[in-house]
Chain A
């Protein structure tokens, strides 16, 4: 019974992955046009080349800064929870707040928080003109903040779960041997947390790279990140835009695959995972 389920799951996953990527390749290269005769061409990539490079840069900037922030904040939660046994329960409860929040809802919340008429500006007392353009401005501040909020909870949960109760003992032994808080973090806690932290950060990076809702609602009009560019072309009335949408989607898939391979490589080489 379970073997059949495993086979079905593997078949379904493989079919979806292979068929969708294959169709993207065929569509982007003109071999599977919606209308007209098939013929191999790189015209779709050529047509979007300028926007594509800008979109790649925008997406990489957002994914990298979100990952760094989420990793740092998530790790801090784990460390603070370890250092304060009494208050850690309340902190753990608050940390789960972003879990049931869908990304589109998180984006709405941050828009209502950070836009020029948002809660933050109401509290600051500035007028709308002096408030910095955090939403839809030249820097993707609101997008990065939203991802950092949502994913820092994820990192915190993963790292806390991986550290386990034994870590507190190790930390206490180190303290008995004369290590201060800083040394305990540097030589005991961080090395023990690194495998989980690394893996969680890799997942956050890959997720933010391909996530649509947040950057669509909170990002600027131009340049757009990859998912927004692809979906705009995909829903365009012009059918010629379909191959271009496939080209952008395919670029995102390629970037995600490269990032996944690289992160597995880094995690392995640093001896963090085997």
Chain B
């Protein structure tokens, strides 16, 4: 909401420094977005009248003018051609400064003195928006539209000695979408009195019922509808002061009638409309729902088709306006309009909003109706408009008003408990101050112990006691409420177990060199093909968004692998040759679609690495996490999964429950993501990991007796896995084997094709005694025999 301060001062007598004003208004609830100080850079530019124009004797393209600036007549040379004698123009005097910083000095142009400069709009820093249409911005001198006192500072003429404050109005305060509304807030904030503008109308000509009849058929959508008639209308430009105010408030002047309706809208918040009465068939106005598919051509010359929920203003035969949104083209005010019907009305806010959306049409008027207007302003506004018509001599007001207002709005009466105010705020505001604050906002207050408060009609947002308390608090000043820490019941703060585990895992992964990523929860449905999912993979059943921003953000992800591949692809293609990433966030799963109740949002841990790494690096990372969480009963077994390289896929099992898959990504999938290097990914169910974690650490006594290490190398067939061999060693070794480490795998010239040699280091130790050579040899042989029998291992010498 743009508020020119000079206009505001018409209604509240304030002489306050602009910065103080802005701060105080913001702190009382009307937040200031910006302040435009006009004309800051304009100096010594005045109004001049052109007395004489002759061609420059030494230059055909130049004109020599004599300009009267009040105190003197100056000779000024200009290259412009649009000036005529008796034009009023802006004159930059010697020593003046233009907004762009240029300093103007007297001098000679082709031998003749020039004592200043005539200015174009562009040179004055004006933009096309703030001028009537058709003014040449750059090449022509700005011909002032009216006569002004000669020598007057151009800043005053152009209304530049003003400030425009832009307020952010929250949508619960439609009453502030008007200069009067802001004036009320200013009066309450600064403890000043409001001055309402005059609505005196002297017109006593004729009677309204001779001109028009009005009926409202759908009063549910139109609680009040008022009409007045203006005859002998003379459509012309509105005066400079009105145009100036409209422009500053962001509305373009058109003609006196339209300008008056806009002026009253800005002033009171009540949008108005003017119809050319001669274009209304049957001299009737009917407010009704449109017929299904009824058409109307609106002011912007577009034809619109309406449905039967949209309210229209109609004459005897057709729609002449879409209520609250836009008037019709055929009844628009034209230059030769002679008689006008002025409409001031309130329409159902929800209906206006729905209609506005359906039509894709949003206007200054509709945006106000949508928020809900005060029905009581209707009459004030229409009388104000008539007052202005008389002031501007735009026509003659016909006596009488048709005001269809079937259900009078009653003022809401509420109760307020003063001690409740202080209880909620934590303050000690005396009752007298409470009353004073409410009265400054035009609430009526009576009573002492329990107050009876009558809410003004323009405050539909105040419905419960807490709303009154907010009114009191904001005018009393939030800054005057003390800050106090809570001294109520002590609550225990902290993270729960799963949250703690999450932080432990993050710390562990950071120590291992991984970076945490955040990727989008919604993805494209094409990801499943891109990661090679079979057609019947149940994870394809994803939750769909019915109004996504785009196809590529239209389903909730059921796996984070596509997101991780995207991150890796992006990094790789930015020449980052290696990286290790992880993410701890959710996948969104549904038992059945469409979703009937909440989804199962499962915390998932995904790890992705590439560069100078291989599968075992990925496995090592996971093993370290398992160690951090004291999970010992886990296994990594060969598996298969469409997204992964068939020979390099594994599943992680904890207590025989599958937690997820890990492995090298299938080359086809890598192709789909434009990744020319090997990538290793693990995606694990973090909920299950958290459940299986054991945060209880118990100290184990240090070994009492020394250990002996024995190395063996066995040759086995290729298909025999390290897990199998290790299991046999540990099984047969039992308690005497304290560690088994695979330290080498050899394939080569000395080993038969299809076989490999695996070298293990076995550490023997007992908790009860120092083992003798015999003890060790016995176990060792048992192991070797088992290896030979179960997996055909041959000892290598």
Chains A and B are bound partners: no
